[in-house]
């Protein structure tokens, strides 16, 4: 029995910082192999990560920009050509931005990165997930979604206003959890389970990186928010805890929670599937 047959394999997007890095450390400590889908590598002075890379237990696939379809497609094709299975996919990459901006495809960047791109990654890697043991997908959502007051596809793609954290960030996370709910029956036909999970409040501030948080939240985060290991633990429990056999649910503080605007879940799924089919799949 070779190493690949013996160990479980997880794909983690945004694995080199914050919650993704803490989750990577935990899984490596439990003898998992981790496939990291990142914009950049791991620090050279991080001996634990560098040793895992050297041993082939941590494999890095870089993309210039997850929200740039050409770059993302090249990276996903590389993963599909080199990996044989995926036991669990953690769609974790994302973040809050400080101002209204748009992707190369012309959609608001939170929505593109945290709603549409996780769907593309799932669809492109689905065959590898079907070959896996756990056949599980965990989408990192947020309790910020409860602040969404209005919700339409049009406002997701091109907002008329911008508010840090409780604006496009919140509605994009809500849209992510809504399509997670809507797609569950379809994935069940292939034996795949999917859940969205709130990782809770974590201090993920990074030195030298502009925060997309409201001004008053920054000092509170520094003083009172948990370290990223807390969020990693929430995602881990979302994958392997008491709700491991459920699909389509949103987990808040480890419990199944209701979603707002769930009557629009099917519309969100149809819209992002259309983007995937018409824009990503038909790229020349």
Q: What is the Cα–Cα distance from 206 to 29, expressed in whole angstroms?
A: 24
pLDDT digits (tens, 9 = 90+) for 53-104: 999 999 999 998 999 999 999 999 999 999 999 999 999 998 888 899 999 9
Residue range(s) defining the domain that contains residue 201:
3-280
pTM surpassing 0.85? Answer: yes
Of 141, 204, 145, 199, which Cα lies nearest the Cα of 171? 145
SS (H, E, C) 108-177: EHHHHHHHHHHHHHHHHHHHHHHCCCCCEEEEECCHHHHHCCCCCHHHHHCCCCCCCCCCHHHHHHHHHH
pLDDT digits (tens, 9 = 90+) for 112-158: 999 999 999 999 999 999 999 999 999 999 999 998 988 999 999 99
pLDDT at residue 25, rounded to an integer: 97
Angle, helix 228-240 to helix 18-29, in steps of 10 degrees: 60
pLDDT digits (tens, 9 = 90+) for 194-213: 999 999 876 554 555 565 55
- Residue 181 vs residues 174, 215, 246, 271: alpha-carbon distances, Å: 11, 33, 11, 14
CA 138, 141, 142, 146 dihedral sign is negative
Q: Judge contact between 217 and 98, C-beta under 8 A.
A: no
| More reliable by pLDDT, 281 or 222 | 281
pLDDT at residue 203, rounded to an integer: 55
pLDDT at residue 61, rounded to an integer: 98
Q: What is the Cα–Cα distance from 113 to 187, expressed in whole angstroms?
A: 22
pLDDT at residue 227, rounded to an integer: 78
pLDDT digits (tens, 9 = 90+) for 4-20: 445 899 999 999 999 99
What is residue 268's DSSP assignment? H
CATH of the domain at 120: 3.40.50.720
Q: Say how many domains are in the chain.
A: 1
């Amino acid at each position: 029995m070779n190493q690949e047959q013996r160990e479980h394999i997880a794909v983690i997007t945004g694995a080199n910082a914050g919650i993704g890095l803490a989750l990577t450390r935990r899984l490596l400590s439990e003898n998992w192999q981790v496939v990291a889908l990142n914009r950049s590598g791991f620090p050279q002075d991080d001996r634990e990560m560098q040793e895992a890379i050297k041993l082939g237990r941590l494999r890095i696939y870089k993309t210039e920009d997850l929200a740039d379809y050409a770059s993302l497609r090249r990276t996903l094709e590389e993963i599909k050509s080199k990996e044989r299975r995926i036991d669990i996919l953690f769609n974790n990459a994302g973040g809050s931005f400080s101002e209204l901006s748009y992707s190369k495809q012309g959609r608001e960047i939170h929505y593109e990165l945290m709603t549409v791109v996780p769907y593309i990654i799932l669809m492109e890697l689905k065959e590898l997930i079907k070959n896996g043991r756990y056949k599980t997908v965990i989408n990192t959502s947020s309790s910020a979604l409860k602040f969404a007051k209005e919700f339409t596809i049009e406002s997701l793609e091109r907002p008329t206003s911008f508010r840090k954290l409780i604006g496009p960030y919140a509605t994009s996370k809500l849209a992510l959890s809504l399509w997670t709910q809507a797609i569950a029956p379809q994935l069940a036909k292939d034996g795949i389970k999917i859940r969205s999970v709130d990782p809770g409040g974590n201090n993920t501030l990074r030195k030298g990186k502009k925060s997309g948080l409201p001004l008053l939240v920054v000092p509170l985060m520094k003083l009172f928010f948990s370290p990223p290991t807390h969020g990693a633990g929430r995602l881990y429990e979302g994958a392997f805890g008491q709700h491991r056999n459920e699909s389509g649910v949103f987990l808040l503080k480890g419990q199944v929670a209701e979603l707002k605007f769930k009557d629009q879940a099917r519309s969100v799924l149809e819209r992002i599937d259309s983007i995937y089919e018409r824009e990503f799949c038909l790229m020349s």
